[in-house]
Amino acid sequence: MESNNPSSISKKANSSYNRSNQPTRLSDLGLGKLPPQAPELEEALLGALMLEKEPLANVIELLKPETFYKEAHQKIFQAIQGLFQASQPVDLLTVNNYLKVNGDLEKAGGTSYLAQLTSRVSSTSNVEFHARIIIEQFIKRQLIHVSSEIQRLAYEDTTDVFQILDRMEQELFSIAESNIRKNYESMSDILKKAIDELEKKQKQKSGLTGIPSGFTELDRHTSGWQKQELIIIAARPGMGKTAFVVSACRNAALDFGHAVALFSLEMSSIQLVNRIVSAEAEIEAEKIRKGKLEPHEWQQLHTKIDKLFQAPIYIDDTPALSILELRAKCRRLKAQKNIELIVIDYLQLMTGDTSGKGASGNREQEIAQISRALKQLAKELDVPVIALSQLNRSTETRGGNKKPQLSDLRESGAIEQDADQVMFIYRPEYYGITTDEQGNSIAGMGEIIMAKNRSGSLENVWLKFIGKFTKYCDLDFQPFADGNGNGVFNLSELGDTASQFEQGNSDSVFKGSKMNLPPANFDPLNEPF
């Protein structure tokens, strides 16, 4: 007869627990913790990749050697990756030979281990699912590493808390991005991508390879705002820097569907939106500011701004924005809204490292730190970054036409050094100059001076500046009529060079697009157009 004393009951309870609730983790047994890993799935995956070609093509871009936990598996996948990139067959013999030639066969477990990997595979249908689980374990290991580093830094009193936050966000962003892009690429991979891009560009009739500004002549010279580039747009106060960049943001978002992030440190978000509304509805900015609109202007306003509600433009008007805050906000916008263009208005109103160590109390060094950080941000997020900048007073004291120069950039020469493009906005009418050297009218016009361009020529572009609407547009732009079909403005009011022709004609004047004009050096006798 079986005993029912407490000791026997305890033994039966323990026996039952051991059979049904066996702990699966070392931490449950008090033996510490192991990093997240899936060695069985790694073995199944590698074995499948050496058996069939199709699974390899599906996961080769998802995995990296360091994604695997065991060093032997890292070496084996490195061999598989090398064979794949060289367009050589991948199987047990080729992988074994590759490891032997590179001296990694013993580290990979030897020929017998490779054979075991292939013999254990029963099906290759779940390879992609296995790969994703392996990646998840790899990401967990990265997160553990980052959190341990942040915990260590947080205990140090000498570390600035905002630097820790910035570093944490940067590390987490890089972990998220590591799933879809590699840390380095071979020359063959880069060449393939370069050729693919050239073929795509050749098929594009417009010639635009970046984010369009919407200004025909400017886009012809720059092919749009290019990814990873820092563009500085500088001018003296009153030249229309904000009007130019707001017009460009509107064009990129509404006409071409690109998401834009606009950081305004000078104006409030309501003021910026009022400018966009004025430019879009072509109602005087002063009337919008005062709220004095005629009935037909209200109708005009509601008709024209309907599409603005869907515009992918995101405005942040945080004053005295620091570079750390800017980076954090841009990373979130990139992840949540997939922004393709970042605009800062303007650079001199930003603050640098809040700890004060980077700038050392020197404003010029602080501006240099900000410009370098903006360039790094453009590369990190793979988007163009446009930063507006002020010019110093030397342009006002200079004689002649007072055109700005690179040396006029305010507070730091590092801006010129870090920028891929530097553009100046120059309106001669501001200085009382209304005709050019040939006697042609330049009233109501603004010149975009390309002072630096790492990837192209230094060609200047003339645009029309309509002060009443606080907007820039192409020279051939025509304002639309009011609700009664009457023209609201004539060309002479807008500073168009064709105003004298208009005075003798009652009909509207329409000028052809500059995209259809021949080049300036075109010879009709020797060159077909």
Instruction: Give the residue among 381, 358, 28 at the shortest CA–CA distance from 174.
Output: 381
DSSP letter (8 states) at residue 232 = E
- For 395, the token pair is 């342009």
Angle at the Cα of 475 from the Cα atoms of 471 and 479, rounded to 5 degrees: 60
Residue 170 to residue 203: CA distance in whole angstroms = 37
Active site (annotated) includes residue 294: no
Reading the block at residue 475, the tokens are 């020279």
8 Å CB contact between 122 and 106: no
Which of these is catalytic: 149, 169, 177, 266?
266
Concatenating the DSSP letter of every residue in 254-315 gives: IIT---EEEEESSS-HHHHHHHHHHHHHT--HHHHHHT---HHHHHHHHHHSGGGGG--EEE
Q: Is 248 helix (H, G, I), strand (E, B) or coil?
A: helix
Sign of CA dihedral 277, 283, 286, 290: negative
H or E, element range at 341: strand 341-345
482 secondary structure, DSSP code: -
The phi-psi region of residue 60 (left if phi > 0; otherwise alpha if psi is between -120 and 50; otherwise beta) is alpha
3 state DSSP class of 292 = coil
Q: Which residues are catalytic?
A: 266
